[in-house]
Amino acid sequence: MLWRIGVIGGFLSAALTDRTPSRRTNRAHASRIQRLYPLTRSLTLSHDMDEVVYTLERHFVEAFGLPLAILLSEGDQLAIRFCSPTLALDQSDFATALMAVQFGRRVGRGTADLPDSQSSFVPLSTWQGPVGAIGFKGNSDQQWIASGEWPVVENFANQAALAVLRARLGEQAQRAAALSHADKLQRALLNSISHNVRTPLASIIGALSALQENECAHTLNEWTRRELVDTARAEAERLNHLLTNLLDMSRLDAGVLPVRLDPCDVEDVIGAALEQLGGPTRQRSIQVDTTRDLPFVQMDFVLVVQVLVNLLDNALKYSPENSLVAIRAQVSGQELEISVLDDGEGIPERNLRSVFEKFNRGDRTGETGGIGLGLSICKGLVEAHNGRIWAQRRDPNGTTITFTIPCR
């Protein structure tokens, strides 16, 4: 009998101990940590705002079973960044959310502020100030948060606020880096243009001034006159080529470069590029090697001619005057493959990948008059055709640049 009394007493003692405030507090604290841990772990792996919002919504629904609205601050206003499909917010809900942000505490149903509201919003507060609010609505007591759950909700909001702030700071850092990069590119562009525009303009003005000053005196012989005219024309073509590249690059960057696909004869494209280059091609030996029975290929004739012009212009500039420049065209698999080869010094291995970047001139100085846009434009025009372009070193020296266009 005594042992039964002892067992019953032990059970009663354990039950009483379990109901003590300290035990209940500890168990509630452990439950809160257990529910917040998955959220904290997931938020540390979220790098941008979209990932943060998705993580918050998923964990909130799992933890509380209620649809969620996430409103983020934009100046003095709040904008919906996410709202569960089953949740419809009206103007009164926005007023509730804005009041929660302004007061820095929970506002709405179950509080002293707007207790008759069907919604309740908790501010997302950080050391830099509020970044928004999270909220939810319910039409019945069964679809609401128990009073003992509110500390968990507020801790949830604190974690959410820090994640939103971190994502915003990351976005600001990316924008700052992009602006800094754009500013450097703009300075490089302006400096390069100022030099490369002035040089041909000065040559053109000098040639025309010499012709004008000596027109009446007839002191220039025919050979000198022809040389001055040829110089002015060559520099004008150089200036036109520069401006064409700038226009093409601006259109590529803006995504407004139209590609008109028509069946084209590859040999006609090569001939048009040689004709467009004019003088330089007549002074150099350019070998054209194409396989027999090349098919007509769907391409934009003008744009592909521009690619070849840029590649040939580089090959002629960066190779000795008496060296060979070659164009080769063949079909490889389902692609038309066109290569331009030269016997120059060649592009260093370390620059083969970066050579297609804007304003990249590798280790070369400004003696050739380029601004480092030609190959970047080629890349953009080729990719607009869903093609590929790459550079290779030749053995023992020289460069081969190859691009492909799908044979549709």
Per-residue confidence (pLDDT) for residue 11, from 0 to 100: 39
Q: Under a CB-based contact definition with an 8 Å cutoff, are residues 384 and 257 in contact?
A: yes
Among 85-89, 185-189, 355-359, which is the least confidently predicted range?
185-189
Task: Look at residue 101 and tell me whether its pLDDT is greater than 80.
Answer: yes
Per-residue confidence (pLDDT) for residue 6, from 0 to 100: 44
Query: Using one digit for the tens of pLDDT, what is the confidence trace for 196-207?
Result: 667 777 778 888
Is 262-406 a domain of CATH 3.40.50.410? no
Q: Under a CB-based contact definition with an 8 Å cutoff, are residues 337 and 324 in contact?
A: no
User: How does residue 330 score in pLDDT terms, banded at 50, 70 and 90?
Assistant: very high
Q: Which residue has the tokens 């700071």?
A: 169
Per-residue confidence (pLDDT) for residue 373, from 0 to 100: 73
Per-residue confidence (pLDDT) for residue 350, from 0 to 100: 83
| Beta partners for residue 70, in sequence order | 82, 134
Own/partner pairs, 108-114, CB within 8 angstroms, 24+ separation: 108/135, 109/138, 109/144, 110/144, 110/145, 110/147
pTM of the model: 0.49
Query: Using one digit for the tens of pLDDT, what is the confidence trace for 210-234?
Result: 777 776 546 677 888 888 888 888 7
Q: Which residue has the tokens 């091609």?
A: 281
Domain 15-172 class? alpha beta
Task: Look at residue 192 and tell me whether its pLDDT is greater than 60.
Answer: no
Task: Look at residue 23 and tell me whether its pLDDT is greater than 60.
Answer: no
The stretch 46-72 carries a mean pLDDT of: 80
Per-residue confidence (pLDDT) for residue 36, from 0 to 100: 59
Is 185-254 a domain of CATH 1.10.287.130? yes
Show the tokens assigned to 180.
Answer: 């800094």
Angle formed by the axes of helices 374-384 and 301-317, nearest 10°: 150
Q: Return the number of other C-beta atoms located less than 10 Å from residue 131's C-beta.
A: 21
User: What is the secondary structure of 214-261 as a DSSP string?
Assistant: HHTTT-S-HHHHHHHHHHHHHHHHHHHHHHHHHHHHHHHHHT------
Show the tokens assigned to 21.
Answer: 């405030």
The C-alpha atoms of residue 71 and residue 172 are separated, in whole angstroms, by 19
Average pLDDT over the chain, rounded to an integer? 77
Highest mean pLDDT among 28-37, 134-143, 325-334, 363-372: 325-334
The stretch 56-85 carries a mean pLDDT of: 81
Q: Which residue has the tokens 């150089």?
A: 238
Domain borders along the chain are 15-172, 185-254, 262-406
The stretch 115-119 carries a mean pLDDT of: 82
Task: Look at residue 339 and tell me whether its pLDDT is greater than 90.
Answer: yes
**3-class state of residue 19 by DSSP:** coil
